[in-house]
A and B are shown apart, each in its own frame.
Chain A
């Protein structure tokens, strides 16, 4: 079965420093991977996705993610963190069995706190 793990419940970073939010996955076949961000009392906002091709994926708000097949990881990164990046981040993998739609399987989430 497809699964995603986010090993850190919380990540604390000082503003201006680089940040990494970790994600590992377990899938059969090639993975479709996603990162979403959620601000308090809001829905999820799409940040970026990996489908195929370049292992470094660039997304919204200066975020990027590195796909590593050998380590089955898809870590989210940003070179310089902002206080406004403080939020809940979710990694997800798509069930590829269906051409139409399909479901996302989410990790438990990582709370990112960026301090001034």
Chain B
């Protein structure tokens, strides 16, 4: 159990709407990453937060934004939803340093109709 909690587990939205997904990492883990996994694909890196700032970003449009709070929890926001945004959104945290591994939550399944 990696101790990464995500909510909601499933949700359905319509095109043009906005969505907020939430992630609470295990206590003491301060670096949070978000990935998008489309059906039949490997996860794609969206961005990473450390010390409440976005530190690294993947090839995603500005419609995808995030936030990290002082308690290290995080939100992923997606505006102006498109059908292609339907995916499993995964939150993850690195265990430690340069030789750690990335632990994932169970994900939030977003369906855009």
Q: Tell whether, in the assembled complex, residue A103 and residue B58 are in contact, meaning their CB atoms are under 8 Å apart.
A: yes
Interface size class of B (residues with CB under 8 A): 20 to 34
Query: In the complex where A98-B56, A101-B56, A103-B48 touch, is A44 in contact with B43 (Cβ < 8 A)?
Result: yes
* Complex Cα gap A96–B94 (Å): 13
A34-B105 in contact (CB<8A)? no
Whether the pair B42, A107 counts as a contact (CB closer than 8 A) is yes
Say if the beta carbon of A102 comes within 8 Å of chain B: yes
Residues on B with beta carbons closer than 8 Å to the beta carbon of A98: 55-56
Known A42-B106, A44-B90, A98-B55; contact A109-B33, beta-carbon cutoff 8 A: no
- What residues of chain B lie closer than 8 Å to A96, measured between beta carbons? 98
Q: How far is the CB of A27 from chain B (nearest CB, A)?
A: 15
- The reply to whether A108 and B42 contact each other, CB–CB distance below 8 Å, is yes
What is the CA–CA distance of A107 and B37 in the complex, to the nearest angstrom?
12
A44 to B106, CA, bound (A): 7
A43 contacts B by Cβ under 8 Å? yes
Q: Considering only CB atoms, which chain B residue lies closest to A106 in the complex? A: B42
CA distance A36 to B110 in the complex (A): 22
B102 interface contact, C-beta 8 A: yes
Q: A42-B107, A44-B90, A103-B45 are in contact. List 6 more A-B contacts (CB 8 A).
A: A43-B104, A46-B102, A49-B101, A92-B42, A101-B94, A102-B48
Residues of chain B touching chain A, judged by Cβ–Cβ distance below 8 Å, are 4, 31, 33, 40-45, 48, 50, 55-56, 58, 90, 92, 94, 97-99, 101-107, 109
Interface set of A (CB-CB < 8 Å, partner B) = 32, 34, 36, 41-46, 49, 51, 90, 92, 96, 98-109
